[in-house]
Amino acid sequence: MTTKLTTMLNIKYPIIQGGMAWISDGKLAAAVSEAGGAGIIATGGREAKWVVEQIRLAKSLTAKSFGVNIQLMANNKDEIIDAICEEKVVFVTLGAGNPVPLFEKFDSVGIKKIPVVPNVKLAKRVQDKGADAIVVEGMEAGGHIGVLTTMALMTQVIPAIDIPVIVAGGFADGRGLAAALVMGAAGIQMGTRFLLAEECAVHANFKQKLIAASDTDTVVTGFTSGHAVRGIKNKFTQHFLELERQGTPEAELARLATGTNRLAAVEGDIENGMVQAGQSLLPLVKIEPAKKIIQAIMSEVEQVLAKAPDLV
């Protein structure tokens, strides 16, 4: 399958793996890339040394394209960016801050720049400043979310942008990928589905929580403060939402939430930690290799698109 994204990154399928903090490492990124997509190493909460180790691990496992996600609000972002430039990965995705001042630096070492943007205005701005592609993420996604749905973003961003548009938020199967391609997207970014990859290092308790979840089992915390995060209902989210309803100060809520992602993802405390996950949960039925996940999605997308002409 050929799209603007597959051509730009030299990948077989238009699927990028989400950069999930404390989860997306070199092993997972390499597995997704070997399967034909583009894996991503997440730097959130990590030291530059760890990032270098994971980039080199991924390079030892695959010769195919993979990237690194950078949180621009991180205190050590400059050190991490320097390390990435030295290691020369194929691309970076950039979020939680202004990516434009970094474009020249990445251009100087040949790294593709893919900012994550929440609306048309910012999509146009980063395109005009030289972004190679963009990711737009709907509020159906897991983790930190914006205010627009994936469908609303596709409807409004794709016609306004000339560079490849990658859409994220709620994608978990071939039908979703087919819908995105028909809407004009160059590909999708998918995170939650890859949590059940055998190569994903997230805690086993976290994986089982996802498999047991129903379609209505996610909630959004922090929406009133403008720091919305989507995850699976549990003891933590129940307590947090109750405090929000009571008007608890934002600073206290922030302290309560700090470290809860790692608590669930790394330590396996799925009741007191934040089990970040998107809304499309029912396709998450079993743990399997990343290759099988991608093969199933591509088989389904081919079937769906083959039938599409019959609708006209």
Question: Sign of torsion, CA 143 144 148 152?
Answer: negative
User: What residues does 134 pair with on adjacent strands?
Assistant: 165
d(CA 175, CA 166): 16
SS3 content of the chain, % helix, strand, coil (to 5): 45, 15, 40
Cross-sheet strand order for the sheet of 218-221: 143-144, 229-232, 218-221
Q: What is the pTM of this model?
A: 0.95
Query: What SS3 class is residue 167?
Result: strand
Average pLDDT, the chain: 96
Residue numbers in the chain where pLDDT is lower than 50: none
Instruction: Look up residue 219 and give its amino acid.
Output: V
Write down the pLDDT at residue 198.
98
All structural domains of the chain, each given as residue ranges with its CATH number in brackets, are: 4-201+282-311 (3.20.20.70), 204-265 (no CATH)
pLDDT score of 312:
85
34, 69, 81, 213, 247 from 142: Cα distances, Å: 24, 16, 25, 14, 24
How confident is the model at residue 133, as a pLDDT? 98
Nearest residue to 244 via CA among 257, 234, 258? 257
Q: Cβ contacts of residue 71 below 8 Å, gap of 6+?
A: 21, 43, 44, 77, 95, 96, 97
For residue 115, the cross-strand partners are 94
Residue with tokens 């859409």: 167
What contacts 179, CB < 8 A, 6 or more positions away?
none
Residue 105: its pLDDT value, please? 96
